[in-house]
């Protein structure tokens, strides 16, 4: 037989609130942990940026203003290139299409013949930048 049970929300809320000290302690501990992680990440990023800026200042200190502007533009375009490359690599690693529709990618087969001997067929898939990837 199934037993029907009634839950009194007021009593349940009272029991939950009765342990408020433990909940508050855990909330404080977690807040400190997440704040610490954030501070460490910011400190690392700041020190790396400061080191890079110092190197750039050392290298561009002897340059004319025009050369400094060219270096700044080159560094900006390099940073943009790195960002685009990371975006493409992230897409290739996490793409639904590349993971689930690989059977629809064109496959090219090559068969080589050497004096009465047949070498196994090699299959390649054409992916990004026309790179050849052997089919396993």
Residue 79 within any structural domain of the chain: yes
Q: Helix, strand, coil: what percent of the chain each, to 5? A: 70, 10, 20
Q: Render pLDDT for 50-93 as a digit per residue (tens, 0 to 9).
A: 887 788 777 777 778 888 888 788 888 888 998 999 888 888 88
54 and 84 share a domain?
no
109: pLDDT strictly greater than 80 = no
Residue 107 resides in a domain: yes
* Kind and range of the H or E run holding 132: strand 132-134
The model's pTM? 0.34
Rounded Cα–Cα distance for residues 59 and 75 (Å): 13
Angle at 101 between CA 121 and CA 120, to 5 degrees: 5
Total domains, the chain:
3
Residues 49 and 13 in one domain: yes
Q: Which two tokens stand for residue 12?
A: 């349940």
Q: Do 19 and 52 share a structural domain?
A: yes
- Residue 64 to residue 72: CA distance in whole angstroms: 12
Residue 3 lies in a domain: no
Residue 43 belongs to a domain: yes
Q: Are residues 15 and 55 in the same domain?
A: yes
Whether residues 73 and 114 share a domain: the answer is no
- Positive or negative: CA dihedral 17, 21, 24, 26: negative
58 and 68 inside one domain: no
Domain that residue 119 falls in: 103-136
**Contact between residue 69 and residue 82 where contact means Cβ atoms under 8 Å apart:** no
Selection from 111, 99, 113, 114 nearest residue 124 by Cα = 111
* 17 and 47 fall within a common domain: yes
pLDDT 10s digits, 36-56: 988 888 888 888 888 877 887
Decide if 1 is inside a domain. no
**Same domain, residue pair 127 and 86:** no
- Confidence band for 106, pLDDT divided at 50, 70 and 90: low
Residue listed under structure tokens 């930048």: 129
Q: What is the pLDDT of residue 129?
A: 47
């Amino acid at each position: 037989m199934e037993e029907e049970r009634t839950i009194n929300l007021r009593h349940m809320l009272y029991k939950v609130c009765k342990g408020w000290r433990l909940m508050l302690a855990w909330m404080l501990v977690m807040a400190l942990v997440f704040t610490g992680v954030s501070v460490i990440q910011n400190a690392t990023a700041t020190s790396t940026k400061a080191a890079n800026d110092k190197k750039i200042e050392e290298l561009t200190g002897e340059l004319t203003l025009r050369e400094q502007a060219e270096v700044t533009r080159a560094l900006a375009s390099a940073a943009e290139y790195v960002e685009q490359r990371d975006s493409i690599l992230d897409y290739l690693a996490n793409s639904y299409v590349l993971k689930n529709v690989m059977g629809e990618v064109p496959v090219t087969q090559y068969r080589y013949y050497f004096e009465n001997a047949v070498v196994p067929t090699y299959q390649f898939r054409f992916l990004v930048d026309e790179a050849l990837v052997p089919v396993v």
